[in-house]
Amino acid sequence: MAVQNPHDHFFRNSFSRPEIIKSFIQEYLPADISTQLDLESLEAEEASFIDPELAEYQSDLLYQVTMHDGEPVSIYLLFEHKSYSDDQVAFQLLRYMVKIWEREMRERKTKSQILPLVIYNGEKAWRVPTDLHSFLKPSAKFETFTPQFNYLLKDFSHLSDEQIRGDIWLRVCLGIMRSIFSPQLRESLPELIGLAFELREQKTGLEFIRVILYYLTRATDRVKIEEVQQVMAKQGAAGKNIMKTMYEEILEEGIEKGIEKGIEKGLEQGEFKRAMEIARRLLQEHSVVTVSEWTGLSIEVVQELKEGIDKAK
């Protein structure tokens, strides 16, 4: 499932990493469960159980893991990124759990034990009860006949630094998730990026730093890319190189979008290719992009590309 929302994209990228998910299980699942899980058997399931009409708003991850006694357990994670509490989450989880069991029934597999888990990092603290009956509100006479379960909620929206536990991968991830809605994000930026750079020597560490930077520049308007660039410059050559790569990738995205729109409008693709070279030169020289720089290009080309290029700068 392609995830377009930047919050969901960051979550899926982060919690698809073995270092992060294993540390999360050890630190934040109930001890009587986490100590019984064989984390070496942990595997991500490829299937997504999000309904297409909800895909823009939610992101699900499903892991299969074996207990030390050999019993398989499915750990189901639903990331809720809204800035308000959603009282329908328990019902959504029930639907996903049923879909998992239906798939196993079709495949004649043993029905898994499922741990429904909600990870939340909204702007306000979570206020919704964590059981299905609170949503369905059955009368006393019908409680026995109404499905009921509790889900495990982890609200990272207002944790202090001392309350964020785990190895460096998980602490970086949760620190970013906690801060993304914070009014103090700009002031926290040097500390967050400094913490992220502790991953620099780790395998795929630099790639994850880029993921973090994209999240910080695309998921909020509390910081500008220029402010991120200033903080990254203090990380030396590595920080500058990462920002240069980011600029180029954002530029390419803007140009590709412009080309697509241009072709739709019947404009010549050759113009866009020439514009791409001019844009890349301007970007590398850190010049201001003005209409006069695009002399010789049609106004349609300029208009379609300028927005993406200005964003890159």
| Of 173, 166, 178, the residue nearest 29 (C-alpha) | 166
Residue boundaries of the structural domains of the chain: 6-181, 247-312
Query: Which tokens is 236 given?
Result: 């030396």
Could you report how far apart the first and last alpha carbons of the chain are, in Å?
A: 30
Pairing of strands 113-120, 72-80: parallel
Query: Which tokens is 71 given?
Result: 């019993």
pLDDT at residue number 57: 42
CA dihedral 262, 266, 271, 277 (to 10 degrees): 20
| Of 147, 148, 64, 152, the residue nearest 112 (C-alpha) | 64
301 and 261 in contact (C-beta within 8 Å)?
no
Q: What is the largest CA-CA distance in the chain?
A: 78
Q: Residue 80 is inside which H or E element, if any? A: strand 72-80
pTM for the full predicted model: 0.74
- 285 CB contacts (<8 Å, ≥6 apart)? none
20 and 170 in contact (C-beta within 8 Å)?
yes
pLDDT at residue number 277: 63
- 240 CB contacts (<8 Å, ≥6 apart)? 232, 233
pLDDT below 70 — which residues of the chain?
1-4, 47-59, 77-84, 247-313
pLDDT at residue number 202: 85
pLDDT at residue number 63: 87
pLDDT at residue number 100: 85
pLDDT at residue number 47: 62
